[in-house]
Amino acid sequence: MTGSKMPHVFRLAAAYISPVLFTILLRSSFVTYRPPKYGSYEYPDYTRIIGWILSCLVVVPIPLHIVWQLANVKGTIKQKWKSLTRPSRTWGPSDSARSLKYLDQSQDERPLKILAFYNITGRQRCATNKRCEEVSMLWW
């Protein structure tokens, strides 16, 4: 989008390291949860309930919105998910020449295997050099 490549470390962190660390931290915080105390004073149950409600108010809308969107789109679950995880037609490069090329390229041409290869190696896997040059203009 900006015309420059994202550094390799950031690609790996955004694609793999951050999601894994977030999942590990979230699970460990649930497993090791202990009711809060201040010295020898234990807070009453209703304060813990209020704390959990406030915490859930921030997170619960995300899965609720996903379920709502899945219920309102027609098709099989796989088709619904694929449709909802694609960028909108208005999303893309601001430069009009690159934007037209980006919009012409189908989102199906970038399977997960190719994206994973790019995130790990920083290189693209293409059938021909010409195709790699065309795609490289669109991806960054």
φ/ψ of residue 3, rounded to 5: 95, 0
Instruction: Of 35-49, 71-85, 119-133, give the range with the top mean pLDDT.
Output: 35-49
Q: What is the pLDDT of residues 12-32, one digit of tens each?
A: 888 889 999 999 998 998 899
In angstroms, the CA 73 to CA 77 distance is 9
> Can you tell me whether residue 31 is helix, strand or coil?
helix
CA distances from 80 to 75, 86, 106 (A): 6, 10, 17
Say whether pTM exceeds 0.75. Answer: no
- Tokens representing 29 are 């915080």
Q: What is the pLDDT of residues 96-132, one digit of tens each?
A: 777 776 666 655 456 777 777 777 777 666 655 555 5
Q: Where are the alpha helices (DSSP H) in the chain?
A: 8-12, 18-31, 45-59, 61-72, 77-84, 96-104, 112-121, 129-139
φ/ψ of residue 139, rounded to 5: -85, -15
* Residues 113, 9 contacting (CB under 8 angstroms): no
